[in-house]
Structure 1
Amino acid sequence: MSMIDNTSQQAAGMVEDLEELVLCESFSSDLEAVARSAKVVAAMGARHLGTGPEFLVIDGVTHLRWSFGTPRVLLLGHHDTVWPIGTLATHPWSLVDGVARGPGVFDMKAGLVQTFHALAGLGSLDGVTLLITGDEEVGSLTSSPLIQETARGLAATFVMEAGADGGALKTARKGTSNYTVNVHGKAAHAGLEPEKGANAGIELAHQILSVAAMGAGATTVTPTVLSGGTSFNTVPAAASVGVDVRVAEVAEQARVDAAMHALRPVVPGTRLEILGGPNRPPLEASMSAGLFALAQELAAGLGLGTLASASVGGASDGNFTAGVGCPTLDGLGAVGGGAHADHEHAIVAEMPGRTALLRALIEAVR
């Protein structure tokens, strides 16, 4: 059998697996759907790896973990998606001209398929841990301690999130923090006696300007969701704003956190309540540099061409592994595009090569 024939056969098997995963919808906020998806993913993993995973249910969210021998390397992914149940009716599974489409196909069900096929091709699974979580798309609130516990002290984590544009590996990711600024004021009739109120809306306007001014360089501090007031003729007694923070360095995350908690009211009679804080630490480029150099070397040997790298603003669970000191390389999953968008797609012809690269990385590190 020629190399081309072998690659074509491998891609066909991957497509069958990918279709099975995409057809099992797994909206993060529907815990029953996530549980159903976990069973499908577990069964697929058992077929390829010869054994089933641990089912780890935390606050109703189902995560899966396979461990083989003494842990050395972690493969990390998630099976939940952003797409509500029923999306298949408007975004059906399809494969046309080598492009696969459907909810979650790019982010990140193709990455899961590539992971199983990479592991199935190893002579031994000793030293490998595979963790597939069920709440990445909603902030990994239940899985983050599990991720950190699993990654601590390992030689490497390979994150099977989709690649950046053109399949570039993600060698740096910004860390994220989320805040809610609540303003408590005092209601009054806006026509009869506005002076007896404490206008939470005006206070919120001051705070929005202060918050927006915290951004600097690569750090972005963005006021997002706004709310306040009850009627046109009432001085608002309450108002709030959500704040999205993205940072490239741990020191910046700490600086913004301190500045958020140092906010003070301007309008007399109002009071501030600051909720939230850091969610994911940044994946700094230093945490991926060695692994990316290794990946470049291995890709050349496999005839995959030159690998590109990208620094991205979006966070992943790889931020958590880097945060506990584990060298981390992200974006090893699908090549395609359209994460969270109507044009989400994965290029099937790229899947065997990415699978071979992952397998080579595991063999080199463990």
Structure 2
Amino acid sequence: MDDVLKFMEDHREDILEDIRYLVEADSPSLDKERSDRCGERIQELLERHFGKRAEVIPEPDYGDHLKFEYGDGEETILILSHFDTVWDPGELEYRVEDDLAYGPGILDMKGGLVQAMWALKAVKELGLPLNKKVVHLFTSEEELSSPVSRHVIRRVAEGSSAVLVTEPPEVGSGALKTARKGSARYTIRFTGQSAHSGNNHHEGASAIRAAARATEYLESLTDYDKGTTLNVGMIRGGGKLNVVSDQAEIGVDVRASTIAEQERIDGIIKGLEPFMERTKLEASGGISRPPMERTEGTAELFRLAREAGAEIGVPLEETSVGGVSDGNLTAAMGIPTIDGLGAVGVGIHARNEHIVISEIPKRAAIFAKLLVKI
């Protein structure tokens, strides 16, 4: 058996125990106290495996971020992991059933976080050669679109040779993610003129009607061939049925595959004119995460990952997905970025969230080999 894979197989139960230790520390994005407790458990694991703790990047409103450095070199490999979850405390519990381990955030993404930690431990224990410094950044509010850590990520990523993201691979295929759509969100508020719907209907200008016309127009901009989707996922307005509404608003989610297309749609939304006479509209919001576009650098990272997989008999494929991650941020900086290097499983943000235990050693071994190959 391959030495790296054997190391992971020999320590499979230890890796799973570390995963359990983090999963049992609930860490909702908006709960700083619990997030910091989970961060302390990450520190304990780092101290146990590497003899030192991570640098704490204080955060007053969310959990503190952690920056761990290993090795030396003029160039840097950045590993991105987040430890916040979408689950309220006690909402889900850790449990094991046959080859599956369940729990809040176990797939998204505490399993992948621990696998990456053990990949670096394998490099250390087996004396594998590294010619670059490895920086592992642990953030606490990715599920909220990284409102604060995005600035930390960009600062830490500056000058990195490669970025490895420990989100899970594609469900079903296990494919690594070499491209992701970008996301943007907007709120559009409509103001009309109220009137009695029976006596003076003609004097009114319905904000709801204007919002409906805007909804039809915006969703018509969806172009599946380009990979562009616009979804009006929220609409509200009015109140009493006998009053022409003078207030309404809609919420719009936009996904696009290229920065150029994302910016084109952004310009359209911010340049919208009223859809009805005697109404006004105001659009707020904007681009949240740019697309993670597949580049030659990303293709090279995937080639190395595929080689690593082939060495232990795991054929790897690549894919493009519609969801976003922190990898979108580093890819937009021009840094080769590959995603989906985390745990194999099913149920992101679902009550059946779980990982496949027998896949842990393989994916951790691939990660370790990829570090060395880079």
Q: TM-score when scaled to structure 1?
A: 0.94
String of CA shifts for 1:204-254, please: whole Å, max 9, x gaps.
011111111222221001111111112212211211111111111111101
Q: What secondary structure sits across from 2:20 in the alignment?
A: helix
Task: State how 1:294-333 maps to structure 2 within 5 Å.
Answer: 294-301=304-311, 303-333=312-342
Compared CA separation, residues 119 and 78, structure 1 to 2 (3 A): same
Contact 2:168/2:341 (8 A) holds in 1: yes
Task: State how 1:229-244 maps to structure 2 within 5 Å.
Answer: 229-244=238-253
Contact 1:71/1:129 (8 A) holds in 2: no
Amino acid at match of 2:260: A
Structure 1: unaligned runs, 5 residues or longer: none
Contact 2:234/2:250 (8 A) holds in 1: yes
**Range with greater deviation from structure 2 (215-224 or 119-128):** 119-128
Contact 1:75/1:130 (8 A) holds in 2: yes
2:57 equivalent to 1:48: no
Q: Give 1:278 shift.
A: 0.8
Distance of 1:274 and 1:338 partners within structure 2 = 34
String of CA shifts for 1:129-186, please: whole Å, max 9, x gaps.
1111111111111111111121122110000001112321111111111111111122
Distance of 1:213 and 1:290 partners within structure 2 = 37
Match of 2:345 among 322, 336, 339: 336
- The percentage of aligned residue pairs carrying the same residue is 38
Task: State how 1:30-49 maps to structure 2 within 5 Å.
Answer: 30-49=31-50
Amino acid at match of 1:296: R
2:92 equivalent to 1:82: no
Compared CA separation, residues 64 and 71, structure 1 to 2 (3 A): farther
Instruction: Calculate the aligned-residue CA RMSD, in Å.
Output: 1.9
Contact 2:82/2:142 (8 A) holds in 1: yes
Q: Give 1:38 shift.
A: 1.5
Distance of 1:227 and 1:64 partners within structure 2 = 40
String of CA shifts for 1:318-358, please: whole Å, max 9, x gaps.
00010101100100000111111122110111111111111
Amino acid at match of 1:178: R
Contact 1:153/1:325 (8 A) holds in 2: no
Task: State how 1:3-14 maps to structure 2 within 5 Å.
Answer: 6-14=7-15
Compared CA separation, residues 187 and 32, structure 1 to 2 (3 A): farther
Match of 2:301 among 291, 296, 299: 291
Contact 1:222/1:244 (8 A) holds in 2: yes
Task: State how 1:1-366 maps to structure 2 within 5 Å.
Answer: 6-61=7-62, 62-68=64-70, 69=72, 70-88=74-92, 92-123=93-124, 127-165=133-171, 166-216=173-223, 217=225, 218-286=227-295, 287-301=297-311, 303-365=312-374
Q: Give 1:77 shift.
A: 0.7
Distance of 2:360 and 2:13 partners within structure 1 = 10
Compared CA separation, residues 59 and 195, structure 1 to 2 (3 A): farther
Contact 2:8/2:364 (8 A) holds in 1: no
Contact 2:7/2:122 (8 A) holds in 1: no
Distance of 2:163 and 2:187 partners within structure 1 = 32
Distance of 1:221 and 1:48 partners within structure 2 = 46
Distance of 2:36 and 2:191 partners within structure 1 = 40
Q: Give 1:71 shift.
A: 4.9
Structure 2: unaligned runs, 5 residues or longer: none
Contact 1:185/1:269 (8 A) holds in 2: yes
String of CA shifts for 1:251-290, please: whole Å, max 9, x gaps.
1101100111121102222111101111111111225211
- Corresponding pairs, count: 361
Distance of 1:59 and 1:214 partners within structure 2 = 40
**Range with greater deviation from structure 2 (336-345 or 60-69):** 60-69
Q: Give 1:59 shift.
A: 4.5
Contact 2:175/2:319 (8 A) holds in 1: yes
Distance of 1:60 and 1:304 partners within structure 2 = 45
Compared CA separation, residues 270 and 122, structure 1 to 2 (3 A): same
Compared CA separation, residues 115 and 234, structure 1 to 2 (3 A): same
Compared CA separation, residues 5 and 131, structure 1 to 2 (3 A): closer
